[in-house]
Amino acid sequence: MPAAGGTARIDPPNASAGQSRLFTLVVEPEQEGAVVTMVELYPSPDFAIESFAPAPGWHRDWTIRSERTTVQKATWTREDVPSDEEEIEEASEEDALFRFVGTPEASKTYSFEVRQIYADGSVVHWRGKDSVAFPPQPGGESVRPAPTLLVTGSAGEARGSSTLAFVAIVVGGLALAVGVAALLAGRRRA
């Protein structure tokens, strides 16, 4: 049985700026014998989420609100909350996994705020010191460090390296074509 004190994390923990990829939010059990009924994800405003993969057993809602800053929020709600003691024990040991395709725009460390809500009403919140979604709450919830994603390279560098690779392939292909043509022309003369 897992010990209390789980974690929330983003896998993979590293990415390149300007490149879309599949990420997984992993929310581990925080309390023994308690069932998670809802998970909320608040990505940084400059982290673009393009799509979500289905999460069996969970219903997802996705909202984006804009005022002075963009607040993105994904909420997953457990479809069936177990009531049998054995089912509760089993459900309380499972990690919650939520997959999404996203594109980090800049080279920096992104924080993802996560709120985990249990059937008994208790809340665990992972957030950084500068919350994009919530001001600090007095009592009532446990706060942990937000999961992070380290992004290297800039969007321009990512596109630039792709362009350079394409140019190298084209130049290499042209050099090969010229070489084959010269070889064939030499055979014809002989």
* 77 lies in some domain: yes
pLDDT along the chain (190 residues), means of 10: 66 94 91 88 87 94 71 88 82 89 92 90 81 59 82 62 50 52 57
**In this structure, is residue 3 part of a structural domain?**
no
Do 147 and 160 lie in one domain? The reply is no
Q: Are residues 140 and 163 in the same domain?
A: no
E-only strand ranges, 33-184:
36-42, 47-52, 58-66, 70-78, 96-104, 109-111, 113-118, 123-126, 141-144, 148-152
Q: Is 2 a member of any domain? A: no
Q: Provide the domain limits for residue 172.
A: 154-190
Q: Are residues 80 and 107 in the same domain?
A: yes
According to the model, what pLDDT value does residue 9 have?
Answer: 94
CATH number at residue 125: 2.60.40.2230
